[in-house]
A = this chain, B = another copy of it.
């Protein structure tokens, strides 16, 4: 069922076209709110073709989410390779830009829609929950822990619990993203002003120094 290597380029393109159409509708209306007729229309494809590529609406949702989570470059986690973590100011600036980048992505309507669908469908499709969990929160936390460990190894910060500190940092951002993004249904999400984010970074720096 649409494993890349076993498809001709033409078939690959059709499968992508269908998946992209499905993605637009799923993210706008959720799984239950989307019919296969809508998907076919949005993808510009007949329902017969849709079912030739994907055996069910559920499979199609899993493919959409798998692609969004694992392959869509727009959802790639911010990279931190080039950061200079050998001074306090380098670390602060790394955390600051990471936080701002994260909030910006997290509060995109499409990303919030993805999270909503994942959370809503996890009881029925547990694999979707694991997929998302291993691709996003675990990677993010791991990244921050690595940054802090590296700064600690460089003697930039004290001997603190880097796991707990990472959770405080990431979690504080969630306290903005959840109420002002996920729990707002009739207006666009309202990201916090950069000053709020800088307060978090400041306090974290104070914590770990």
User: Which residue of the partner chain, among B141, B172, B183, contacts A130 with CB atoms under 8 Å?
Assistant: B183
Q: Which of A159-209 contact B (CB under 8 A)?
A: 160-161, 163-165, 167-176, 178-179, 182-186, 196, 199-200, 202-204, 206-207
Interface 9-residue window, one of A3-11, A45-53, A100-108, A120-128: A120-128
Residues of B within 8 A of A33 (CB): 124
Number of copies: 2
Distance A196 CA – B167 CA, assembled complex (angstroms): 11
Distance A172 CA – B203 CA, assembled complex (angstroms): 14
The reply to whether the CB of A118 lies closer than 8 angstroms to some CB of chain B is yes
Residues of B within 8 A of A132 (CB): 183
The reply to whether the CB of A137 lies closer than 8 angstroms to some CB of chain B is yes
**Residue contact A172 to B182, C-beta cutoff 8 Å:** no
> What's the least CB distance linking A31 to chain B, in Å?
8
Q: Which of A28-46 contact B (CB under 8 A)?
A: 30, 32-33
> What's the least CB distance linking A109 to chain B, in Å?
10
Spell out A's residues near B (CB within 8 Å): 30, 32-33, 113, 115-116, 118-120, 122-126, 128-130, 132-133, 137-138, 141, 160-161, 163-165, 167-176, 178-179, 182-186, 196, 199-200, 202-204, 206-207
Q: Which 10 A-B pairs have the closest CB atoms?
A: A171-B171, A126-B185, A120-B120, A32-B32, A126-B186, A168-B168, A122-B185, A207-B207, A167-B172, A129-B183
